[in-house]
Amino acid sequence: MPEEQQRAIMGELEKRESDYMRLQRQRMSADDFEPLTIIGRGAFGEVRIVRERVTGKIMAMKKLKKAEMLRRGQ
């Protein structure tokens, strides 16, 4: 493989790695997900089925009530 082609491939890989690492550093919030349904409730919060807005992946999200946890000393 010619050296010029190797440099082009390495440059593309470095760019993709940089883009991936930038995405990893971003903090997620509840606004990044579309709630679909609640599958459970407990003393400290609830578990929901959600869809990630960017990728469309379906996941479970546990949403806790921080004030209630602190009040009970958990």
64, 45 contact by CB (below 8 A): yes
CA separation for the pair 59, 74 (Å, rounded)? 26
For domain 3-71, give the fold.
Phosphorylase Kinase; domain 1 (3.30.200)
For the chain, the domains span: 3-71
- pLDDT tens for each residue of 4-49: 999 999 999 999 999 999 888 888 888 999 999 999 999 889 999 9
Task: Consult the annotation and say whether 57 binds a ligand.
Answer: no
CA separation for the pair 62, 15 (Å, rounded)? 34
- The residue-averaged pLDDT of 48-58 equals 95
- Closest by CA to 30, choosing from 58, 56, 61, 55, is 61
